[in-house]
Structure 1
Amino acid sequence: MSSLREFLEDLEANDELNLIENEVDCDLEASAICAMSQRTGGPAVQFNKVKGYKDGKLVGSLFAGPGFMYWPQVDRLMHGRLALSLGLEKDIDYEEFQETLIERKKAPIRAIEVDGGPCQEVIIEAKDVDLNKYPIPRLHDQDGGRYLTAQVVFVQDKEKQCTNSGIYRLMVGGRNKLVHGSIPRRTQPTHIEQIVEKAARKNEPVPFAIVIGAPPPVYAAAFMSLPATTDEYAIAGGLGANPVVLVKAKLSDIMVPVDAEMVLEGHIHPGEKMEEGPFGSISYYTSKMSNFVYDVKMITHRQKPLLPFIAEGAKPSDSMCIISCLHAAELLEYCRGTVFGSVIKWLTIPVEAKLTLAIVSLGAQRLPGFPARIARAIYTRSPYIRKVIFVDPDVGAQELAIALNDRVNKVNHGTNVFISPMGKPLGLTENHGFDGSLSSTWTTDATWRFDRPNEDKARRMTFEAAIPKDVRDRVVALWKKLDIPQEPVVMD
């Protein structure tokens, strides 16, 4: 997938894009429409007429899916649009999708560099730079301002001689100012925060390039937990199975995707700070805080650029779905790379639980004590997960309802549920009344005992297990033909 525009064409061709021609206000209204689409498991949304902006277009809910509750009569899957963005089929099985992510990450493809391209069709310099001319939305009524939420920030680390990328919220702080939004509850500074701090000690500015409307694989790679010196464009090339095409930015040596919709360039100056927030994140409003400032000195963009945004907090949002898929794949790869080998069949992070829960399917090689050891590895590795449920291999990755049912009906709560005050920091998306700085963990083993004979195990009474496939297919086809209405799935 070489560009956002190609992705939108694929979404439209697959009935995954809702084109809205009526005029929409970027102040709360656009975000509310995307929130409703996400709550009902609807398609992505493109706003072709934004109030007050002649050429402005917004796109939202690009990667959001309906969640892990599997309904056979509904074609849309949680990971479907993310799969499309990486050149895969939208109905790819989740287990196959997860394995594909792991394999593609292991096969990076180096980027290609060119001299110019669409992202530099329009050039706006110095005094003519005005962020207020673009439909940057206000997303929630208590937000501290208008926010960019779906961009990739690139900064140069002169000490390590590399370029780092990341996804951060940026609040408009003036005509040519953006204020950095930190990730609440992180115990360690992000790579960009480390780079800015090192430069400040030397009284040096940090060059940046903010890429809005990046090719989807570049956007996905920026969400991953990668070492600071990783060639993230090569990882993006691997994820999309195609090399990313780059062009040199105008004000620095940072390379940016040639097909990006817009690029904001400038410097982060030592000591320059402004107040940012509050902001409605996945689970709660962040507090106001003073943070460093991006001084925008140049804007380059395509003709009539598209500005993507994330309706954060409306479950499941784009960021929740992307983190769910990519972080689950990273954890699965990590656990398999340790002592657990092929014991783990799949691992999911349901968006319904705000990324605090992992469900792990164990294969045939289970041994006593393995669930507890795997859970500890997950808790140690993940900044999100504080609860793990282990299920048998006959549970499908999209079958959240069955996994939760097993937790209730197959578990001896005296011997198979473990609550431990591990001394872990509060998870990034947890939102409870915990007054201290540490959080507990909760592990449930909902698998059959490994020594229990198969003939003694109860048969599942589900649509898939109790009805032959040919009958299921006929019933689903009839259901769709009759267009039987259903209530939207709402997750609060």
Structure 2
Amino acid sequence: MVELREFLGLLEERGLLKRVKAEVDWKYEVGALTTKVLHAKGPALLFENVKSYRSPLLTGALGTWERCSMAIGVDPAPQMNAEPRTAEGCVKKVLSALKNPIEPVIVDTGPCKEIIDKGEEVNAEKFPSPWWAPADAGRYIGTLGCVVQKDPETGVRNIAIYRQQLFDRRRIGLMSNQQGRMILEKYIRMGKPMPIATAIGVPPEVLVASSTSAPYGFDEYTIAGGIAGKPVRLVKCETLDLEVPAESEIVLEGEIRPDETEWLEEGVFGEFSGFYGGARTKRPTIDLKAITHRNNPITQGTIEGKPDVARESVYLRSMGQSAGTWYRLEAARIPGFSKFYLPETGCACFVSLVSMDHHYYAGNAQQLIKAAQVFGHNAGKITIAVDDDIDIFNPEEVEWAVSTRVQPHRDISITKNDEVAVNLDPSIAPEDRAEAGTKTSRMGINATMYYKGFDFPAKVLQRKQEEDLVHKRWAEYGIE
């Protein structure tokens, strides 16, 4: 398990991290600079002189596929065709961890306990939380914070990344969904406050594991262990019956009251879709009980927005959620299934891709499209099926398949507007974007070549012997 500081050292050795020593304002300027650098696929940024703060702020640590691969121990692919191959390697590494989880271990203490604040000492405003964009509702301390909860009935942990608005020294607003919201609803029905912890600046393997769409009841710490090949070291919280990574930079401990009338208004916030989402409304509010952190802690966060800007966020979701759905599809044993991917260009959410290595019967492709939509939870508003000769990690190949293998009247299916949706989808009318129960229609595109009533023409291909010759003589050509 590589702690965050070790990972940053590795990035710096390779020239993939820059220390920003000039004073930078946490209000808007951090977000503007991070946007510019991430859009250019530039280095990770360690702000060492955030206005009015002594401790550093990190953005863009996982802002390229190369850095993602370094974070989870995947060898980056060769320069030619590097991004698709590296993306596939990262997804497969997380998939392998889902299949081979490793239980965490509890230790007595860790670096996250170097400073312990309780009672009147609790002050979440002492960390450089950015106001990422001018139209945001305020400062957000949680854009890459790992939120830890426990199911009150089963005791199973859930770790996920949810946005968190900093209200004041001791209160934070939370926008959670899916499994995190399910757990909160159980506490509300019981009339009990829900313990909740947020770990910021965790080992990269934990951050990636927290982004997976693992089945409910699957402890994400075990996935992180599977990625690292060894157990995550956990410590007990000071005031809660929860466990957090021992090497975390910052840990926020608190409770959410069950009475929704006591919650504060949260949002709006610039979201992963590239639009503002989550209308301003009362949302779960965390009352902080304790804060523990390392000496000179590193606050880690990221900007949201269009995929070509919010690269760090979209790569995390693409890795974790692709692996989670792939895991479910394999378990379902549907004939013909080969690979699954949520591409960055679809915000790692709205478009899903499924490939087939064989067609066993008429309707096989449509069956896989429906399965991908079901097992992808609320992702996959548009699902495209392709044959295995198409690299689903390469958008050029996918677009070519759709362009040349699809007849709209024959190969496109559209459901009724009664499917579970992402409530941050800007294409849904505002009045229909409820906090829960948002609905969408779904489109399936069969971009395969089989069971269409005719044989496609032969593809333009080079012979294998010339391909082998070129591979053998590659160094002679002088092409890097």
| TM-score of the two chains, using structure 1 as the length reference | 0.84
Aligned letter for 2:363?
G
**Structure 1's 201 and 425: CA in aligned 2 closer, same or farther, altered over 3 A?**
closer
For 2:109, the equivalent position in structure 1 comes to: 116
- Distance in 2 of aligned mates of 1:460 and 1:60: 43
For 1:264, the equivalent position in structure 2 comes to: 252
Q: Any idea what the Cα deviations from partners look like across 1:28-75, whole Å, max 9, x if unmatched?
A: 111222212222222322212211112x2111122233xxxxxxxxxx
- Distance in 1 of aligned mates of 2:361 and 2:478: 39
Q: What secondary structure sits across from 1:320 in the alignment? A: helix
**Structure 1's 476 and 441: CA in aligned 2 closer, same or farther, altered over 3 A?**
farther
Using the TM superposition, give the Cα deviation of residue 297 of structure 1 relative to its aligned residue in structure 2, in angstroms. 2.3
Using the TM superposition, give the Cα deviation of residue 333 of structure 1 relative to its aligned residue in structure 2, in angstroms. 2.3
For 1:11, the equivalent position in structure 2 comes to: 11
Residue 376 in structure 1 maps to residue 370 in structure 2? yes
Q: Is the 8 A contact 1:123 1:298 kept in 2?
A: yes
Q: Any idea what the Cα deviations from partners look like across 1:433-458, whole Å, max 9, x if unmatched?
A: 5475542222222223369779x412
For 1:103, the equivalent position in structure 2 comes to: 96
Q: Any idea what the Cα deviations from partners look like across 1:171-199, whole Å, max 9, x if unmatched?
A: 1111111111244xxxxxx3433433433
Q: Any idea what the Cα deviations from partners look like across 1:229-278, whole Å, max 9, x if unmatched?
A: 33332222112212111111111232211110011123223323111111
Residue 80 in structure 1 maps to residue 66 in structure 2? yes
For 1:482, the equivalent position in structure 2 comes to: none
**Structure 1's 255 and 475: CA in aligned 2 closer, same or farther, altered over 3 A?**
farther
Aligned letter for 2:338?
K
Quote the sequence identity (%): 28
Higher-RCO chain (CA-CA 8 Å, sequence separation at least 6): 1
- For structure 2, the 5+ residue unaligned runs are 78-84, 433-437
**Structure 1's 295 and 231: CA in aligned 2 closer, same or farther, altered over 3 A?**
same
- Distance in 2 of aligned mates of 1:42 and 1:467: 36
Aligned letter for 1:63?
L
For 1:30, the equivalent position in structure 2 comes to: 30
Higher mean alpha-carbon deviation, 124-133 vs 196-205, is at 196-205
Aligned letter for 1:311?
I
Q: Any idea what the Cα deviations from partners look like across 1:97-141, whole Å, max 9, x if unmatched?
A: 433322221111121222112111112221122222210111111
- Distance in 2 of aligned mates of 1:25 and 1:467: 56
Using the TM superposition, give the Cα deviation of residue 150 of structure 1 relative to its aligned residue in structure 2, in angstroms. 0.9
Aligned letter for 1:84?
M
**Structure 1's 47 and 126: CA in aligned 2 closer, same or farther, altered over 3 A?**
same
Q: How many residue pairs get matched?
A: 454
Using the TM superposition, give the Cα deviation of residue 477 of structure 1 relative to its aligned residue in structure 2, in angstroms. 4.4
Q: What secondary structure sits across from 2:53 in the alignment? A: coil
Pick aligned residue for 2:382 from 369, 381, 387: 387
Pick aligned residue for 2:338 from 345, 357, 374: 345
Q: Is the 8 A contact 2:214 2:324 kept in 1?
A: no
For 1:483, the equivalent position in structure 2 comes to: none
Using the TM superposition, give the Cα deviation of residue 302 of structure 1 relative to its aligned residue in structure 2, in angstroms. 0.6
Q: Is the 8 A contact 1:246 1:256 kept in 2?
A: yes
Q: What secondary structure sits across from 2:292 in the alignment? A: strand
Residue 173 in structure 1 maps to residue 179 in structure 2? no
**Structure 1's 150 and 266: CA in aligned 2 closer, same or farther, altered over 3 A?**
same
Higher mean alpha-carbon deviation, 38-47 vs 298-307, is at 38-47
- Distance in 1 of aligned mates of 2:294 and 2:359: 54
**Structure 1's 289 and 393: CA in aligned 2 closer, same or farther, altered over 3 A?**
same
Q: Any idea what the Cα deviations from partners look like across 1:362-400, whole Å, max 9, x if unmatched?
A: 214453211111011111222121112222322224321
Q: What secondary structure sits across from 1:138 in the alignment? A: coil
For 1:421, the equivalent position in structure 2 comes to: 416
Q: What secondary structure sits across from 1:421 in the alignment? A: coil
Using the TM superposition, give the Cα deviation of residue 419 of structure 1 relative to its aligned residue in structure 2, in angstroms. 2.9
Q: Is the 8 A contact 1:281 1:312 kept in 2?
A: yes
Q: What secondary structure sits across from 1:11 in the alignment? A: helix
Q: What secondary structure sits across from 2:416 in the alignment? A: strand
- Distance in 2 of aligned mates of 1:126 and 1:10: 38
For 1:296, the equivalent position in structure 2 comes to: 288
For 2:204, the equivalent position in structure 1 comes to: 216
For 2:446, the equivalent position in structure 1 comes to: 445
- Distance in 1 of aligned mates of 2:472 and 2:89: 23
Q: Is the 8 A contact 2:390 2:401 kept in 1?
A: no
- For structure 1, the 5+ residue unaligned runs are 66-78, 184-189, 479-492
For 2:323, the equivalent position in structure 1 comes to: 329
Q: Is the 8 A contact 1:320 1:351 kept in 2?
A: yes
